[in-house]
A = this chain, B = another copy of it.
Amino acid sequence: MKTLRDIGEDALIARLLGKIPASDLRVGPGDDCAVVDDGRGPLRLLKTDAIVEGVHFLREAAPAKVGWKAVARVISDFAAMGGRPRHLLVTVALPADLEIRWAEGLYRGIGRCLEAWGGQLAGGETTAVPEGGPVMVSVAGEGVVDRRHCVGRRGGKPGDVLAVTGALGGSMRGRHLSFEPRLAEGERLARGGARAMMDLSDGLAKDLPRLAKACGCGFEVAREAIPRSRGVTIEAAISDGEDYELLAAVEPRKWDRLVLDWPPELAPLQAIGRLVESGGTLAGGWEHFTS
């Protein structure tokens, strides 16, 4: 009998989406966010994401950091479209034997993250899981983005400069629980020439091919140009995952101006390669279901 482990995440999602009727959204399932066009005003972004104990965090983690991470991941997806958060919905599934203090810490972290990045809690749901089951936090939200500067995954063209914010790798030493979504960086990129963008959650080795494929392109990467966290090998920087940095494909004639004007208070922007007609591999990356 075939199980999920046998096919892996991307194949699973492709297979499952076939079970659901198509929609008339401007951007539907498969991008960082869905995009709703109400015909006027800013575009609205819709996104849902979940973290699960034993997969994305351990019970020993500080609960406030777990709450922060759950919200920050969704805000990172808004950043990856050039947008910002507006209303968030938080569903928390908790085993009945969980300490109240842990649950309170979790909500404190959720609140802190909303406050720090400008989202509003619009609603929530608390449900039980069977005793011994994992804590799970599912966050859904609505963001907004200027309709002239909404960047999906598909717009990149051969020749575009591939760039990443910040430094990659080593996130599991702690940063995966306390990262800062790249909101200002995403907006700057969207206004400064990014034609395709995503946030790096499964590692560059897995996410870059996704971006290139969505653009109908291949890619070339100068591995030694990849910005690394302190004490991290190139291999780890490519493969570790949970960086929540932005990966963008920038129109070549806009690249110089973007770099010259890049505010020093933002996370640094680093070119790592470019989109090409076809080809490109990068070994590594994180796979949810296969072992």
Contact = CB atoms under 8 A, between A and B. Distances in A.
Interface of A: 1-7, 9, 12-13, 15-17, 19-21, 23-25, 28-29, 31, 33-34, 36, 38, 41, 46-56, 87, 89-91, 93-101, 103-104, 107-108, 110-111, 114-115, 120-130, 133-134, 136, 138, 140, 142, 288-289, 291
A204 to B, nearest CB: 20
Contacts of A96: 3-5, 289, 291
The 5 closest A-B pairs by CB, nearest first: A140-B140, A48-B89, A138-B138, A34-B122, A19-B107
A248 to B, nearest CB: 21
A56 B128 CA distance: 9
10 contacts: A4-B94, A7-B100, A34-B122, A47-B123, A48-B91, A54-B133, A91-B140, A93-B136, A128-B289, A136-B136
A241 to B, nearest CB: 13
B25 A122 contact: yes
Contacts of A56: 127
A286 B186 CA distance: 45
A124 B48 contact: yes
Contacts of A104: 15-16, 19
Copies of this chain, whole number: 2
A33 B95 CA distance: 25
Contacts of A23: 87, 120-122
From A5, A7, A122, A130, name the one whose CB has the most chain B CB atoms within 10 angstroms: A122
A76 to B, nearest CB: 13
A128 B288 contact: yes
A145 to B, nearest CB: 15
Nearest to A33: B123
A111 B15 CA distance: 13
A51 to B, nearest CB: 8
A121 B7 contact: no
B20 A107 contact: yes
Contact of A5 (B24, B38, B93, B97): B97
A41 B36 CA distance: 15
Nearest to A100: B2
A230 B45 CA distance: 45
B50 A127 contact: yes
B87 A36 contact: yes
